[in-house]
Structure 1
Amino acid sequence: MLFHVRMDVHLPPDLDPAVRADIVAREKAYSQDLQRTGKWPQIWRIVGEYSNFSIFDVESGDELHEILSGLPLFSYMTIKVTPLAKHPSKIDD
């Protein structure tokens, strides 16, 4: 199943810089591992925001929930998930 996910990060401005650096490093490693497995095939930065648009390719909404809730930045995020379906006008590659 494909999902379009928007993630907006809201880190507290007074967060200790060392804590911030640690969380961001763990987030990067976690996301890159998921990219390597094919579960997170697309990630795009939204210009001017600490946000991204991503495409996830997972077995179910439950699996996506598990992945998203495992993000080190999860507690600092607002997340919007949209399930995707193939468009009937799409030309297959």
Structure 2
Amino acid sequence: MSTWLVRLSPHIPGDMDPEIRADLRGRTRAGLADWPGARWWRVAGSDTLVALVDAATSADVHERITALPLHRYLAVSVEPLSGYRP
């Protein structure tokens, strides 16, 4: 199992129907809450989310992200992390 740094920055069109937007956001929140062991933070002053997640492979991380209802409106960054002892 590896740890990954995930950054999700939503870019939802301003002209999207408010009901559709709310539905997509709600279902995406539920999907993020179901990510086992993930620790999520919101970047102050933005809608960007940052997380530390555990997954066996980058493909596992990719699969979870693309399953999110908002995935087509997300700018995504995923970085593998390794242990460090100063």
**TM-score, L = length of structure 1:** 0.86
Q: Give the AA of the match of 2:48.
A: S
Q: Which runs of 5+ in 1 are unaligned?
A: none
Identity of aligned residues (%): 32
Q: Deviations over 1:1-39 (max 9, x none)?
A: 1000111100000100010011011011111111xx32x
2:67 paired with 1:56: no
Larger-Rg structure: 1
Q: Which runs of 4+ in 1 moved over 6 A?
A: none
Counterparts of 1:1-93 in structure 2, within 5 Å, are 1-34=2-35, 37-38=36-37, 40=38, 42-89=39-86
Q: Give the AA of the match of 2:24.
A: I
Aligned residues: 85
* Whole-Å separation in 2 of the counterparts to 1:52 and 1:11: 14
**TM-score, L = length of structure 2:** 0.93
CA shift at 1:50, angstroms? 1.2
